[in-house]
Amino acid sequence: MNEQPSGNREPGLTLAEARAYLEAGMDKLPGMKILYGHPSPRFWEPCALPLPELLGHANAQRPLSLYLHIPFCPKTDPPACGFCQFARQDLTSYGLAKGYVDDLLGEMGQHADTLGRRETAVVYFGGGTANILRQAEIARLMEGVHRRFRLAESAEINFEGYPQFFTQAQVRFLAGLGVNRISIGVQVLKPELLRFSGRAPAPARIRAAIELCRKLGIACSADLIVGWFQQTARDVIADIDTLHAWGVTGIVIHPIGLQGNSCFAREKDKLPKVEDSCRTFLLARERLLELGYRADSYTDYQKADLPPVKFLSLYRNVLSNDKIGLGYGANSVLAGDLAKPGVTFVNVSGLEPYHGRVQAGKGCAEAYFRFAAEDLRLLYVLKGLEGEPYLDAGKYEQLFGTGLEADFRGCWDALRERGWLDWPAGEGPRLKGDAIFLTAHIQRMLSEPRNRQLRRPGRG
Ligand SMILES: C[S@@+](CC[C@H](N)C(=O)[O-])C[C@H]1O[C@@H](n2cnc3c(N)ncnc32)[C@H](O)[C@@H]1O
Ligand code: SF4
C-alpha cells in the first residue's frame, strides 16, 4: 500500500495542528452538516458560464438526483422561524408561487434540452416549504418532471414541508401523484419551546399525517432540532418517543446551526450549553437505536426494517451520481471523476433575479467551483464520515491510490487520543462519542489543508 501522501497535495495536518483544531472547536456548536459539501461557497467564483458548459460535466451513466427548491414560507415572528439557514422568503401572495412555478418549469426545460430525458432515481421537493404549494402547482411541477425526466421504476419521490400544511387532503393528493416519502419539519413538539420560533403548534395534524402515511404505505420522516432555546435532553427524548408512538418511519436530529443575525444567533443566552446539547444529541441517538432505528447517517435514523433512504445514499455517494438543483438558491453537484473533475454550482437567489435568468435562457448559476482531484478525495472522505456506507480504507486506496491512514494521519491520531475514533480491522474510520455530535467540525478539520491552499492568493 502506498503510504505516501500523493501529488501536489498540501501536507495533512500534523498531530499538534489537529489537536489544536479540535480543541478550538470544543466549546462551539458544530453547526449543521456541510450544506454544500466541500469546499465552502466562500471559495467559489462568480459564474458566467452558459448552462450547457456546466452540464457538460454530467455523466449519463450515473443515477440522477433531482432537487426542486420551493423558497416560500409562512411568515413568522421572529422572521425565518428564528433559526433558518435556507434560501427562503415569506409567501406574501400566492400569485408569486404561481409565477415561480412557471420559472421552475422553464429552468427544468432548459436543463432537459441539454441533458436529454435522463433516468432519475430521486426527486426531492424541498425548501423553504414545498408543501405551501397548492394542488394545481404541485401537479404542474410533477407533470413537468415526468415530461422532462424519465423516472426510474423504483424512483424515490420526497416531499418536504411545514406541519400545518400536511392536511389529510394534501397527503392523499401527494401519494396519488406518486410521492412515496414525506418529511415533516416538526423541530420541537412542546408548545412552550416551539413558540420561540413563532411556528404554529400542530401536534394533531402531525399525528394524523403520520398515521395516514402509514395507511397509504408511504414513508414519513420527522425533523427535530437539538440545541433549541431552553431545551433539555428530556424534551428531545419525549419528542422522539411521541413521534415513534405515532408511527414515523424516520427521525432526523439536526444539531442547531446559528447563522449571522438570526434570532437564535442573537439570543445565545437562551441556548443550552454546548456540552449539554452534545449530551442531548448522543442520548437522542441512543434512544433512536434502542427503539429499533438504524443510523443511516449521524443525523438520519430510519426504521431498521426499511431500505436505506435513497436521497441520502446518493448524497453521500457524490462520486457516483449527478445532482441537479432547480430553483433559486438551488445547488447542483456534477462531480465528474479523478481524470476529469467536475463542478458544483449554486443558482442565484431571489424571485426577480431568478426570473430574469430563466427568461434570458442562459442558466441561473451565480457561483461555481471547479473541483480538483483533491476536492473529490475530500468529498469522499467527509461524506463517508457521516454514516452508511462508511469509509472503507481499501476502497479509498483503490480509488485514490494512496493510504487513508497516511493521508490524514495527524487528524486520525488526534481523534484517537480523545477516544473518538474506531477503525474496525479491514474497514475504515468511524467517529464515536462526542465526535459524532462534532462531525461538522471534524469535517472542517480534515479539509483545512485544502482550505489553506484555497485561501492563498493565486491559489493552486
Ligand atoms: C428546509 S427546512 C424545513 C421544512 C419546512 N419548511 C419546515 O420548516 O417545517 C428542512 C429542515 O432543516 C432544519 N433546519 C433548518 N434550519 C436549521 C438550523 N439553523 N439548524 C438546524 N436545523 C435546521 C429543520 O429541521 C428543517 O425541518
Ligand atoms: S424552518 Fe421551514 S418554514 Fe421556517 S423559515 Fe426555514 S424553511 Fe421556512
Ligand 2 contact, 185 CB (< 6 A): yes
Q: Which residues contact 385 (CB under 8 A, 6 or more apart)?
A: 391, 429, 430, 431, 439, 442, 443, 446
- Prediction pTM value: 0.95
Give residue 391's pLDDT. Answer: 93
- d(CA 227, CA 255) in angstroms, rounded, equals 6
- List the domains of the chain with CATH numbers: 15-33+386-455 (no CATH), 51-314 (3.20.20.70)
**Residue 73 corresponds to which cell in the numbers above?**
414560507
401 and 387 in contact (C-beta within 8 Å)?
A: no
- For a mutational test of ligand 2's pocket, the pick from 72, 129, 132, i.e. the residue with the most ligand atoms closer than 8 A to its C-beta, is 129
For 77, 121, 181, 415, the CA distances from 430, given in Å and listed in that order, are 41, 28, 29, 10
Give residue 28's pLDDT. Answer: 86
Q: Is 67 helix (H, G, I), strand (E, B) or coil?
A: strand
Span 286-310, mean pLDDT? 95
Place of cell 418549469: 105
Question: How does residue 310 score in pLDDT terms, banded at 50, 70 and 90?
Answer: very high
Ligand 1 contact, 254 CB (< 6 A): yes
Is 1 a residue whose pLDDT tops 50? Answer: no
Residue 191 Cα to ligand 2 midpoint, Å, equals 17
For 228, 272, 288, the CA distances from 254, given in Å and listed in that order, are 10, 15, 14
pLDDT tens for each residue of 364-376: 999 999 999 999 9
pLDDT greater at residue 214 or residue 316: 214
**Residue 7 corresponds to which cell in the numbers above?**
501529488
Atom 4 of ligand 2, residue of closest alpha carbon: 81
CA dihedral (174, 203, 200, 188) in degrees, to 10, reads -100
Report the percent of the chain where pLDDT is more than 90: 88
Give residue 34's pLDDT. Answer: 54
Residue 17's φ and ψ, nearest 5 degrees, are -65, -40
> Would you tell me the crossing angle of helices 409-417 and 15-25 to the nearest 10 degrees?
60
- d(CA 174, CA 180) in angstroms, rounded, equals 8
Q: Which residues contact 398 (CB under 8 A, 6 or more apart)?
A: none
Span 385-397, mean pLDDT? 91
pLDDT tens for each residue of 258-285: 988 899 999 999 999 999 999 999 999 9
Ligand 1 atom closest to Cα of residue 223: 25
Question: How does residue 92 score in pLDDT terms, banded at 50, 70 and 90?
Answer: very high
pLDDT tens for each residue of 343-356: 999 999 999 999 99
pLDDT tens for each residue of 210-260: 999 999 999 999 999 999 999 999 999 999 999 999 999 999 999 999 988
Q: Which residues contact 442 (CB under 8 A, 6 or more apart)?
A: 22, 385, 411, 415, 431, 435
Give residue 11's pLDDT. Answer: 84
pLDDT tens for each residue of 11-61: 899 999 999 999 998 888 887 765 667 898 899 999 999 999 999 999 999
Ligand 2 contact, 70 CB (< 6 A): no
pLDDT tens for each residue of 127-143: 999 999 999 999 999 99
Q: What is the mean pLDDT of the chain?
A: 94
Residue 228 Cα to ligand 2 midpoint, Å, equals 15
- d(CA 47, CA 364) in angstroms, rounded, equals 9
Give residue 5's pLDDT. Answer: 42
